[in-house]
Every structure is written in structure tokens, then in C-alpha cells.
Structure 1
């Protein structure tokens, strides 16, 4: 993974570190910066220090002893022909000296052993109920309460910078929560919402089209026909599970799901889902939200009767009525819960994201490694690629280096499958389809042929606007415009890559069902297969573009492109590529 030079300062001067220089003897007095922002991140304001007695839970990610072991194993288990994967905990174990060194540091600061626990096979530490004053001393930090400017949103507890004793830098990957300020307005990936009655007037207000002269909006029947899933009947519903994530108090409604199925797929009117609440995540079906309804209605409509789990996760931007700041990170809380579960869903869909450079590099890198662990556990992890084309606004870099196209995280993580958007029949790129190249993550080995081929066609266009050595997104794409949904008993049309991600998740879930039904393991991490033999089961999209940042953006071409990826799925052809592989008999629990 690469270090993003613009996000971290080489000195401590910008951070109000505690007076550890005189208070602590060596080696703990030598605190060096881990990450800091020059200023408070955009759209956030400091409200002052938290009340006396405020505590925080700190999560400390430890660096693995063998840095590449997890990635190597992930690629191995991603081949549907490969043998059973190794135990993930063994792959990410820290250096034998790491825990001793960390414990010595914590003892020096009088952190009681009762507050310290290990997770993920000892590769993470959780420090529970740490007074904020003590956290400031541990990290040379200055935690304050922050709120998004101009809103009544709840508050979060963060610091604009933190450090660690220099001796720990080679042992600690990141500490959470510290400097990550979620741009909550960008997290949801469904910005376009209209009532069905407004459809006829939409073309006069923004660039839209219909799927064809015969349909004016997308329903499950359109997708099941277009992507050829209609004839497949799931046969492994006793083992196969599809998970859908929800954040920011977004809940689906069973009543809306029944109404949707009654309207769109009568044989699936009995569709249900299990709700799992994580880290104080709520669930009030009487107050549904379109994002969650969209996701459940379309995964269910494609994959029915496959069991579904909806994860309602709190944290990150939530707080109680007393305005006490939230200390937990929603991404981390969700992934910790799933990784600590005995079994993980074979397919997981998420339609949330954040501009990559809004996140500290160490934070993004650490979460990306956790997504790799999910893949090694047998999960196909799917994220929408974003709705701003190559970027929103002028995209001018703060350092004056000019325009920098913007990628969305976690879609930019090389260990997830990112999904862009298409529209129309025949399909072309949706103009909002998020795509481009990561500044944080290097090009993964599975893109070693497809991405350079595109770059050769692109030539010197946009030189300096993107990192040509970065991980390219998206990987694949699907329809993403004019999706019919029912939300709070009202019919709406939705657009965005939040439509594409659950569509792809439903199709992948059917492929996992097929794998399990013939005695094979689920697909797990999809990308090596998709960029390999799986490409034979994709429809290449060669028209359309994704403008942004004051440019025309990238253009869809033959082969992979940073607009629609490798193309859209054809279920029957993908199933045939799997059927042609040598048979295995490994269906053990993951």
C-alpha cells in the first residue's frame, strides 16, 4: 500500500500535543506524528473540549509480522478451484515482540489490564473506557467535540492529529477513532429521488433517459431479463445468505417490501429479512428510509428466496440527547462484528462511501485489510463506486498542484468489488458513475493487464489529474437509473450506484447459491476471477462517460475502463464459466 504524501505532515507543530516531552522518560517521550490535518477538515467545526469524565474506546490495529501473507492467501482462496483457505488469524498475527512492547507502553500510562482486550486473533487491541485526558497523553492528541457546520447533526469526538512513540510506529498500523471525519453528506450513494409522477418532466431538468421506448423505469423484471437470472431457482437457501449494510439511521420496512413484491414480483411476496443491530444501531420500520428500502427490495427481488440479513449499525455520526459525542466508528464496528461472527454472509452489499482523501491513509489502509479478511473468510464484498463521475466541484488540490480526480472509499480498496452505473438498453455508462484511480492503493495484480490497456488508449489526456499507478475503479457495473421503489408506502424513482450495487449483489448471491448447490465453496473475493475467466461472462460497455471536476471525465471503451469497469453481468454466462471449472468438494463453513 502506498503512503499519500499530502495527508500527513512530517512534524508535530500543527498538532497541540500534550507536554510529553518533559513528562515521560525514554522511550515513551519520543512521540512522533502518525497523522494530522493542517486544519479542521472542511465542513466541520470544533465545539470545544468534552465534559470532564468523558471516556473513549480506542481500537489499536497492530501490523502483521508477515505483511503479505494475508494478501497472498486471499488470492489463493479467490480461485474457485483452490483448496480450503488457511486460518485468517494465523495470517495476520503481529510480531512476537509487538504485544510485549504495547503492554509496556500501556503500563507506563497506567492503563488497567481490565480495560485491554484483544480481537481478530490478537492483531487488534481494544482499550475500553479510557478517559479522554489519558487518551490525549497516550497519543499526544487533543480530542474535542465536533459537529458538521450549519447542521443540527449530532456530534463526534475526534482529534485533528495524533502521534505515537517512535518505537511503536513499526508495530502499530493505526488508532481509531482519531482523525477520520466522515463527510456524511457524501456517504449515501442515492442522490436522485423523484416520485413516479414526475418522471415525464425529469428530462427537462437534468440529463436522463428511459431504458427503452417500452419501459419508463427499472423494475426487477427488467433486471432479471437483462442480466438473465429469471430462470434460476436457488437451491442452497439453507446455507447461502446475503447481507445488506445500513448506517445513519436508515431502515427498511417489511410493509414496503411486501408492497414492492406485490407490485413487482408476486411469487416473492413472502420475502423477509433478519435485522441485526450493531453498536446501538436502531431499527424503526415505521420510519423507513429510501436507501435501505432500495437495497433490500432489489437484492430480495433478484435473489429470493435466499435469506437476507440487514445490519443496522450505529456510531460514527450518532450521539445521545445530551449531546455527548459518539466515540465509535461505524465502519469498524460493523466489520468487527461480522469478522467475529462464526459465519459470514457469502455476499455483502454496501451502498455507502466517502471521498478517499477525506480519510487518513493509515485508517483507509487498515480498514482495507479488514475487508481482505472478509474475503478470506469466503465473503464477496460489494461497494457502490460513487455518484460524482470523476469528482464533484473543481477538484483543485489544496497544495496548489492542480486538478485531482476523486475516488470513493471503500470502493477504492483493492479487496472489494466496486460497482459503477449504466443506463438505457442497449447499455451505456451513466454520467454519474464514479470511476478513476486511487491515490492510496497501488494497482493490484489482477488489474495488471486490463488497466494498462486502457491507459495506452488514453495516452497523455488528463496527465497529472490522476495516479496512473493506482487501483482502478470500478470493477464491474450495472443499471443505476430510474429504479422503481416503494418507500413509506409511496412510489419513487431512484438513481445512483446504490441501485447498481444491490443489483450485482443479488446476481453474485445466485452464483454463490449455484456453487454451494453443486458442492463447492462460495466465490469469496471476486476480482481475480472477474479479471480472469469471469470476464467471459460480462457484457462490455463501450459508450458513455463520467464527467466531473470541470472535465468530460473518462470514456467507456472496449475492455476495462474507469467508468463501467469490465462491464455488466450476464448470469448464465458467468454460471457457465463456473460450471466449466474442475469440481471441488470443499463447502466447509467460513
Structure 2
């Protein structure tokens, strides 16, 4: 949007005097750089930075109340989800915030041609040099280098400042303190969480399957769609497929292979041979085949093979393929495409976190262009520590706003127990393999998503025996957030665990305050999945598997509700933690999620930070949700 917006703001504030000069205060800080990163030199003063300023959004303090109004089972307005227009209007930054930030930049000498307000009105973009940014923010920019990869990354040192009268109108400024960089085949920096090995959620390849088992007696060795149906009593034929929808998110270069889909369906669901997900391309996303291998195809094959097989041939599955091979993509790029009010195209994405479009090979401004599905499953994640609190808080609020629109967000909780990405936190809060403090993952800790951990069938047991927390090849991610507070709807469950089964660790090991968001929320089997990848049938493990299966089962609940004229289940957390739903979960009481030199937490009766509330009992879930408005 042109800087001419200022004329409207000046009119609105014609009676307001120029803001008094105020002292600079620390706005955001990081005590230490992430693991492996160290400053190697000062950044050159004339390097151009696409400075993005996230404006404070009003009414976020009421977001929980708004969500409870449409999501709590006892609310008279349950299921009466908000329209995108109402969400945009409620959380649009105020004219006062826009005015204050634009005035500040103008007073600092930035010409109008260098400053823009984003399409959604939530971000201000200013092209500045490093020297200008250092003056604006009272900081120093350095080039950081990763000790193992040699990749270089530009960031400010320790902290940055804002004028006190401006700070209250700004959530965060980027690029400043945030790190998220990985190797790329075409460039030195890859902005995509789809890069193999990135993040806290990666399917683990266990081995080859020589003989495909198709009966239930082999489920302790090979998980198939029929095993999952038996475990969770998911015997359901959709009847409202024209109204229902389910989405799976993949980040380029990760992509599925059509031949693998047909081989899988040939083994387990012959009627679906030839069936494909409905592609929704976001920022150049496409079903790429230039790069192949389990690290590229394993995740997408796993997600789509099981989601599609479980919902059946008559239910369409949407594939959100995000990012091209040049820029990659991030969670923010995906959220941009879902909600126009959040859009940061030319106004908010961090060039180190988020693919900035258009690029040389692809031109797009995907802003609120992607259709919303009722349920969206994502098997990707980072750690809270890596991304920084300001970045993840702003993004978490967006999941909450989309929850107001009736979307259920499912995220895998992580595959390394309490150790996040395999590293823990040291005394300074930095990620380290020698750290001893638990390292929670994100978005799993965001209170506005539903986090899914992993269980398994014990060796020698059957689908009729109780499952245990997954402790083979992967450990179910779980614990307590270091950023997000304890939601009202989770308080009784968390306090019950801490009071009845207090972990034997000191406060310097995990956030033992009892007032922080805990995860996961639920769990699903995550071990020994039979997956076809690159023409071979292989055994795979991970919460990567649990997330799309949970989404498919909940999609069946949506179908049942939509068939009788009711709304989709939307933001489910207040409902699933309510006393009415206690019997709808198969309680997991054995196993733990070790890491950081400890045994982690233990699965116990009721909710626990290993398997959450437990695994789903589909008939009970369906009937309980059908009994609601």
C-alpha cells in the first residue's frame, strides 16, 4: 500500500500534537545466539535490509474469551464461528499505531517512497541500510557463521531498542534476532522448513519390508490403515463429502511421488489407485520430482497415504504445497495464503525465516487466496528457543484467529522426547547437545493448536491391548512451554498431573511453574508404519505419522456433524479437555519421553506430557460431538 495512507492518518489525528521525543528502551533481546552460531564480523554498513515492523494488534487480550465463546461445549454460541471479515476488523492495528510508527520513520529521515503499509495493515516495510537500521534500533548488526555448515546469517547482537512511545505499538522488528537457516541446493541459505533434517519432526526410516502384512495379527510389526481403524474403532463411511474438507501441508522440497501413492493403495486400498490429493499451490508450490529420496519424499508420502486411505475414496484431501525450490517457505508464508488480514507480502516476512516473493523464477502475492479446509494437519516444527518468543507469539495468535473461523489445526509434537530437536538448553537458554534443560517445540506449544504425540503397540501385543508411549526409534515430544501461559481449559488437567505425579526434577530442568502451556494434547500410534517411498515399502516412525491420522479421525467427526446440519468442530481444545469428553480417550499409562540426560516425563492416568489425554475412541468422540449444538 502506498505511503499515501499517511494522509488519512494525518486527517484522523489532525488534533494530535507531534509525539514527544522519548528514550529508547530494549524491545527484544536474546542472551546468546543459537547453538553453533557465532559472530565473525561486523555487517557492512551499506548492505540493504528489508526491515519489517509488526504492528501491535488490538483485542488480542480477548482472543481466549472470543474462542471460548465459539469453542467451549457449555457456550450458547458453540460452533458459531466468525467470518474472515469480522476477524480482520477485530484485530486490525489501530490508526494510532500506524500513525505513530510512520511518524517515527519519517522523523528518522526515511523518504515516503521507502516505506509501505502491508495489504493486511499489520506490517510496515522499510528498505534501509545496515547503518540506518543500527541507528533506528540502537543496535549493531553482525554476520554470524554456523560452525558446522559455514553458512552465514545477518542478525543484530543481543538486543535492539525502540523509542518508548513507539514500542507499545510494535510487536517485533525483523530481521533482528531470529535464526532459521538451512542448506540449500541453489543458494547458501534455505528458508524452507521442508529442507531434509530441519526442525523437530522428521519421519524415521526403520528398515525395508520384505513381506507386506495385511491382517490385524501383524499390527505390532507393521502398522497399516486397517490396524489404525481397529485401534481407534474408526469404522466410518463419509456421507457429507461435498461439505467436509481436510488439508495436509507440505513444504518444498518435500513432495509426494504419484507412483508411490498407487503402490501403497494397491497394497491397502485398491479402490484408490489413481487417486490424488487436490493441489493448492502456495508461493510456487508444486509436486516436484527433481529431487527424490526418503528425506524428500518420505514425509509427504506418509502424510498423504494415510490421510487419504483413512478418509476413503469419496472424501477429497487437499494438499497445501508451500514454496518453490528457489525461495522455500515457512509457516508465515502458509498463513499469509490463508488469511488476508495476516498477509506480510511486501510487508512482514523475515528474509531469513520466510520466503520473500516474487523471486526470479516465480511471481506471486498469495494473500488470503488459499481455501480453508476444516482440519489442517502439519508434520513440521521447530523449537521455541530457535525462533524467539516475539516471533512465535505473533504466529500463535494467527492460529487462534483462524480457530475463530472454525479451523482445527493439528501439529506433530516432536520426535525427540523432551529434547526438542535433539538438543537441550544450557543455563543461558542456548541450545546445546550438552544442555540439561528441556527444550519444548513450536507450534506444538501454541495453545491454539492441537498437539499430537506418539504411542506404539508393545512387541507381541495386539490391537486389542493397551498401547504405550512410543519408546522405539522415536520418543513422543512433550513438556511445558517456556513462552506460553497455561490456558484456562487445560488448567485442571495439568495441575492434576503435577499434583498427583510430580516430576522428580528441579526447576532448572523444566518449567515447573505450573502456569505454562503443556503439550501434547492427544496421541496416536507413531511406530512401524508401512509406507511406500521411492518404490519400496518401508517401516517408518514418528509423530509425523500420528498427526495426519489424528486429522483423518477428526475429519470423520466433522463429516458426521455436517451431515446433520451442524458446524465443523473448529478449535477443539476447550472441548476435549472438558469433563464430558473424559471417556472419549484411551488413557495411556505406560512409557516416558526421555532426553537431556533424564527419563523425561512419564505417562500416567489422565493427562500427561507424554501422550496427552490419550488416543481417540472414534465412536465416543463422534457421539459426544453430535450431542453438541
- Same fold, judged at TM 0.5 (above): yes
Of 82-91 and 246-255, more deviation after overlay is shown by: 82-91
Aligned to 1:456: 499
Aligned to 2:100: 101
Post-superposition shift, 1:359?
Answer: 2.4
Aligned to 2:536: 490
**Distance in 2 separating the partners of 1:329 and 1:125:** 19
Secondary structure at 1:390's aligned position in 2?
A: helix
5+ residue gaps, structure 2: 1-17, 183-196, 341-367, 458-462
**Distance in 2 separating the partners of 1:300 and 1:520:** 24
The question of 1:250 aligning with 2:254 is answered: yes
Aligned residues of 2:469 and 2:611 also touching (Cα < 8 A) = yes
Aligned residues: 536
Aligned to 2:279: 275
- Relative to 1, partners in 2 of residues 1:347 and 1:56: Cα closer, same or farther, differing over 3 Å? farther
The question of 1:180 aligning with 2:172 is answered: no
Aligned residues of 1:34 and 1:162 also touching (Cα < 8 A) = yes
Secondary structure at 1:439's aligned position in 2?
A: strand
**Distance in 1 separating the partners of 2:573 and 2:532:** 33
Of 445-454 and 236-245, more deviation after overlay is shown by: 236-245
Residues 523-555 of structure 1: CA deviation (Å, up to 9, x unaligned): 111101111133332111111111111111111
**Equivalent of 2:479 in 418, 422, 436:** 436
Aligned to 1:195: 207
Aligned to 2:448: 415
- Relative to 1, partners in 2 of residues 1:170 and 1:394: Cα closer, same or farther, differing over 3 Å? closer
**Equivalent of 2:428 in 398, 405, 418:** 398
Aligned to 1:218: 223
- Relative to 1, partners in 2 of residues 1:450 and 1:274: Cα closer, same or farther, differing over 3 Å? same
Post-superposition shift, 1:100?
Answer: 0.9
> Normalization by structure 1: what TM-score?
0.83
Aligned residues of 2:201 and 2:379 also touching (Cα < 8 A) = yes
Aligned to 1:509: 555
Secondary structure at 1:272's aligned position in 2?
A: coil
The question of 1:42 aligning with 2:38 is answered: no
**Distance in 2 separating the partners of 1:282 and 1:397:** 43
Residues 111-170 of structure 1: CA deviation (Å, up to 9, x unaligned): 5357413344x3x114165555544443345455556432376x6544344332222221
Aligned to 2:167: 169
Aligned residues of 2:44 and 2:130 also touching (Cα < 8 A) = no
Aligned to 2:337: 337
Secondary structure at 1:478's aligned position in 2?
A: strand
- Relative to 1, partners in 2 of residues 1:88 and 1:310: Cα closer, same or farther, differing over 3 Å? same
Secondary structure at 2:332's aligned position in 1?
A: helix
> Normalization by structure 2: what TM-score?
0.78
- Relative to 1, partners in 2 of residues 1:339 and 1:141: Cα closer, same or farther, differing over 3 Å? farther
- Relative to 1, partners in 2 of residues 1:197 and 1:459: Cα closer, same or farther, differing over 3 Å? closer
Aligned to 2:268: 264
Aligned residues of 2:281 and 2:321 also touching (Cα < 8 A) = yes
Aligned to 1:205: none
Aligned to 1:306: 315
Secondary structure at 1:449's aligned position in 2?
A: helix
Of 137-146 and 85-94, more deviation after overlay is shown by: 137-146
- Relative to 1, partners in 2 of residues 1:215 and 1:403: Cα closer, same or farther, differing over 3 Å? closer
Residues 427-462 of structure 1: CA deviation (Å, up to 9, x unaligned): 111130011111111110111211111111123621
Residues 34-82 of structure 1: CA deviation (Å, up to 9, x unaligned): 2233443212355767789765444432223333222211122224634
**Equivalent of 1:530 in 573, 576, 589:** 576
5+ residue gaps, structure 1: 1-24, 201-210, 321-325, 583-590
Pairing of 1:356-375 with structure 2 (within 5 A): 356-375=384-403
Aligned residues of 1:544 and 1:556 also touching (Cα < 8 A) = yes
Of 187-196 and 375-384, more deviation after overlay is shown by: 187-196
Post-superposition shift, 1:198?
Answer: 8.5
**Distance in 2 separating the partners of 1:283 and 1:213:** 33
Residues 269-302 of structure 1: CA deviation (Å, up to 9, x unaligned): 2431233343454541353421122111111111
Secondary structure at 2:265's aligned position in 1?
A: helix
- Relative to 1, partners in 2 of residues 1:190 and 1:249: Cα closer, same or farther, differing over 3 Å? same
**Distance in 2 separating the partners of 1:479 and 1:115:** 50
**Distance in 1 separating the partners of 2:550 and 2:411:** 10
- Relative to 1, partners in 2 of residues 1:112 and 1:297: Cα closer, same or farther, differing over 3 Å? farther
